[in-house]
Amino acid sequence: MVNRMLEKIQSTRRMITYRRIQLEQAAKTIMRVSKQNREELSKRFNSHMEALRLYFEDFRQRQSEILNEALFFQEARTEDVVSELNEQLEKLDSQNSNLKSLEYHEDNVLVFMNDIIEDLYTGMIKFSPDINLEGLKIEVGLDTDIIARIDKVLSRSANLMHVNMPALDGSDRETVSYKDLIKNMWNCLVCKAQLGVKQVECPGCKTFRPLETYENLLHRPEKVTSDEVEALKLRRKIEKQIILDLELNGVENKVEQQEQWYMIASDWLFKWKCFVTNKISRSQNANVA
Ligand SMILES: [Zn+2]
């Protein structure tokens, strides 16, 4: 009875240690993922904004060239119109000098030149040079709501959103809870390594995954999953192999006396045999009873 209680205490302590390691590892991983995420996102965000900035700079450049072209044409057009006006001015000037030259003539000559004067007079009444001013001034048309529209487009181009954490086992699964996060993972009690559920022992320090840490194996045997059964089978196989190897090596190393291996507890050996063979012998049953 006392032994049972002591075993239970040991087992509970293992579970507490295990859960502690899991929480610590999860916290570390979350911090690391969060930091990596921050750096990665800043990088992506900045390069996106830089691309937009370059695009706008390029756009400004192109529009500015178009504006310069338009201004160049306006200048040429203005020059054309001004030269037409100058032509008309010259015409007026020449008529003015004609008039001046007429004034110096004798009265009788002036009478004789009545028709010429009449022509100049009606010419001035009708004077209305046909100068086309169309397209002389250019204009820049700006849509005032364009800023709001661009803002909408840009917001879509850089959409900020919250997504879920990836699972610790490296799969593509996304998790919303701690329980999901550590699913398919277990931590080595000795070296704290993170391992997949398909592994039953830590490849680093050769420590077995404690049976207490399986969801159902010890606590809800009736709900045990096929994965858990497979894990148990694999563990039995590995344990058997370890003992076999030790037996063989023990013989081989006899000369060097380095890795002598022997059993000291027959009680433990019996329990172990029951475990690896998954059978309880009659004599063991009698002992338990
Ligand atoms: Zn380990």
Mean pLDDT, rounded, for 237-243: 90
- Residues 227, 130, single domain; the answer is no
Model pLDDT for residues 8-39, shown as the tens digit of each residue: 899 999 999 999 999 998 899 889 988 999 99
Which of 99-108, 198-207, 256-265, 270-279 holds the top average pLDDT? 198-207
Which of 2-11, 76-85, 271-280 holds the top average pLDDT? 76-85
pLDDT at residue 256 tops 70: no
pLDDT at residue 287 tops 70: no
C-alpha 31 – ligand 1 centre gap (Å) = 22
- Residues 43, 138, single domain; the answer is yes
Residue 233: its pLDDT value, please? Answer: 92
Residue 47: its pLDDT value, please? Answer: 96
C-alpha 194 – ligand 1 centre gap (Å) = 9
Model pLDDT for residues 188-221, shown as the tens digit of each residue: 999 999 898 889 999 999 999 998 888 898 889 8
Q: Three-state secondary structure along 179-209?
A: HHHHCCEEECCCCCCEEECCCCECCCCCCEC
Task: Note whether residue 21 is domain-resident.
Answer: no
pLDDT at residue 286 tops 60: no
| Domains held by the chain: number | 2
- Residues 124, 56, single domain; the answer is yes
C-alpha 183 – ligand 1 centre gap (Å) = 19
Task: Note whether residue 273 is domain-resident.
Answer: yes
**Residues of the domain holding 249:** 176-288
Cα distance from N-terminal residue to C-terminal residue, the chain: 12
- Residues 95, 189, single domain; the answer is no
Task: Note whether residue 13 is domain-resident.
Answer: no
Q: Which residues pair with 208 in a beta bridge?
A: 201
Residue 258: its pLDDT value, please? Answer: 55
Task: Note whether residue 5 is domain-resident.
Answer: no
Confidence of residue 259 (pLDDT cuts 50, 70, 90): low
Report residues near ion ligand 1: CB below 5 Å: 188, 190-191, 193, 202, 204-205, 207
- Residues 136, 204, single domain; the answer is no
- Residues 202, 127, single domain; the answer is no
C-alpha 257 – ligand 1 centre gap (Å) = 28
C-alpha 208 – ligand 1 centre gap (Å) = 8
C-alpha 185 – ligand 1 centre gap (Å) = 13
Q: Mark 108-122 as b/e (b = at least 16 C-beta within 10 Å).
A: eeeeeeeeeeeebee
C-alpha 276 – ligand 1 centre gap (Å) = 22
Task: Note whether residue 118 is domain-resident.
Answer: yes
C-alpha 200 – ligand 1 centre gap (Å) = 11
Task: Note whether residue 170 is domain-resident.
Answer: no
C-alpha 230 – ligand 1 centre gap (Å) = 21
The single-letter DSSP state of residue 54 is H
- Residues 75, 195, single domain; the answer is no
C-alpha 192 – ligand 1 centre gap (Å) = 6
Q: Which of 157, 192, 221 is the last residue of a domain?
A: 157
Residue 257: its pLDDT value, please? Answer: 52
Q: Which residues pair with 241 in a beta bridge?
A: none
Q: Which of 115, 130, 157 is the last residue of a domain?
A: 157
Q: Which of 105, 129, 157 is the last residue of a domain?
A: 157
Task: Note whether residue 166 is domain-resident.
Answer: no
Task: Note whether residue 17 is domain-resident.
Answer: no
Token pair for residue 170? 């490296």
